[in-house]
Amino acid sequence: MSQQPQAVYTTDEYGRPFIIVREQARKTRSHGVEAIKSHILAARTVANIIKTSLGPRGLDKILISPDGDITVTNDGATILSQMEVEHQIAKLLVQLSKSQDDEIGDGTTGVVVLAGALLEQSESLLDRGIHPMRIADGFERACAVAVEQLDRISDQVEFSLENTGNLLKTAMTSLGSKIVSKAHEQFAQIAVDAVLSVADLERKDVLFDLIKVDGKVGGSLTDTTLIKGVLIDKDMSHPQMPRSVKDARLAILTCPFEPPRPKTKHKLDITSVDEYKKLREYEKEKFEEMIKRVKDTGANLVICQWGFDDEANHLLLANDLPAVRWVGGPEIELIAIATNGRIVPRFEDLTAQKLGKAGIVREVTFGTTRDKMLVIEECANTRAVTIFVRGGNKMIIDEAKRALHDAICVVRNLVTDNRVVYGGGAAEISCSIAVAKAADEIPSIEQYAMRAFAAALDAIPLALAENSGLPPIETLADVKSRQVTEGNSKLGIDCNGRGENDMKKQFVYDPLISKRQQFLLATQLVRAVLKIDDVITAGAAED
């Protein structure tokens, strides 16, 4: 006769009794369905944290780093990347958000909310005794139906360099939920102009390397400007050098203005005044030789990656050769691309053909602090641009940069594929109706998973309605019934309270590839989570 497991009867802090079975108490971890449920709980916890940040009325989160630095944002990828997440499945959600950010650039909050909703639905299916893999197969099938529906309801938006209205509306949709929403038309215009400046419309390609986003504390968000050229946080190396150089021919150097030294360890003993004078003359000759090499090529401005001492600086000034020192590697590369110049590692290699060309290089100063920055405009390669963000403090500037990144990515996505679906949850509601309809025609047990997928898609419009202060269930039921009766897939949640549910009339656009990627990534992650029934830590002893 098998021995019955012993039970311990105890009470909680309110005096309510509960039972601990000793065999359960000794288990170090759960297996099978119980393990999957614990993973679902961890993922749902993360999803619920950022659900309140979804949509134009979504709330921000304040993130405090271990060093005490503060970040205020509602960008899903930023929130998750800065959260200290211990649970393995929660880390998968963080990676999910990052992959959406890397591939598409926008929709990082929505993809996590959808994944959390799918896992929540799968938990009720597990309680019914449906096998996890049958649930995963049903989700895959439903996702295929949803993606087909997205293709059916998508519209093509026409745009050109002269007619950018549709691009502007899509960028404004992306910026509607950001900190810059008060100036979102201006920021959307900047994002569109920046992308079209560097876009190759024939190849449907956007060279992101040519767009630089920089910021300086001071001024307001409305002072943000797009500079057709390069902006670097440097000034002329000598205060008496000219503040601007017209028809600039730039020598872009990664070698320092200093006398050559042996590569190995060396020691130089100077025992007399004559020897010191000889050394000084030698150094001066070398400096003059370097400056002559630069001047002979016709250069009238030096951009140097390294610093140079006071003597070299004085000789540069005496020879009417303005210079900028300590310019970082990425900025050197951007200047070389923008001016069609070549980066030169040795003075001996410098020739007139390797010089960069720009219409004007000028210093700009800011406010009473007189902070200086250098602007290189009218470059030989006119496609390079810099977005210069202003704001009241560093936190606002950082969030504005993240918002601009999302808007630039959205416009880039439209240049790559000019099909859009409509936001405000309209696309999700339409796909939910299509998936639920398809589930009715499937005789196998997977129909339950497909209906669960349809219910999970409703989580996006529900969250949008809740974050906008609307009654979520009533609002969703009303919009869904109108979509069915009117056959209009453009109806969504009116987050801004304009009294209009047609998202096309509100100009709320989402790129098709962004929405499709959200569905596919969320389904892939949920399938992976449902397949995990145990977590084994390397080196951990078994009971």
Nearest-angstrom CA–CA distance, 97 and 108: 5
Nearest-angstrom CA–CA distance, 381 and 513: 31
Q: What share of the chain is helix, strand, coil (3-state, %, to 5)?
A: 50, 15, 35
Dihedral sign for Cα 255, 259, 263, 265, please. negative
Q: What angle do CA 518, 520, 521 make, to 5 degrees?
A: 65
Buried b (16+ CB within 10 A) or exposed e, 127-137: eeebebebbbb
Residues 6+ apart with CB under 8 A from 37: 123, 126
The three-state secondary structure class of 388 is strand
Half-sphere exposure of 493 (CA within 13 A, CB side): 29
Strands (E), 124-233: 155-156, 199-200, 205-206, 211-217, 225-227, 229-232
Residues 6+ apart with CB under 8 A from 129: none
Buried b (16+ CB within 10 A) or exposed e, 243-257: eebeebbbbbbebeb
> Judging by beta carbons within 10 Å of its beta carbon (0-12, 13-18, 19+), is residue 192 exposed, middle or buried?
buried
Identify whether the C-beta of residue 435 lies closer than 8 Å to the C-beta of residue 92: no
Q: Are strands 225-227 and 229-232 parallel, antiparallel or unpaired?
A: unpaired
> Judging by beta carbons within 10 Å of its beta carbon (0-12, 13-18, 19+), is residue 6 exposed, middle or buried?
exposed
Task: Kindly write down the DSSP assignment for every residue of 404-471, as one continuous string.
Answer: HHHHHHHHHHHHH--EEEETTTHHHHHHHHHHHHHHTT--STHHHHHHHHHHHHTHHHHHHHHHTTS-
As annotated, the active-site residues are 75, 108-109, 406
The three-state secondary structure class of 365 is strand
Identify whether the C-beta of residue 195 lies closer than 8 Å to the C-beta of residue 411: yes
Identify whether the C-beta of residue 382 lies closer than 8 Å to the C-beta of residue 228: yes
Nearest-angstrom CA–CA distance, 335 and 15: 72
Least Cα distance to 520 among 103, 49, 83 occurs for 103
Nearest-angstrom CA–CA distance, 215 and 235: 16
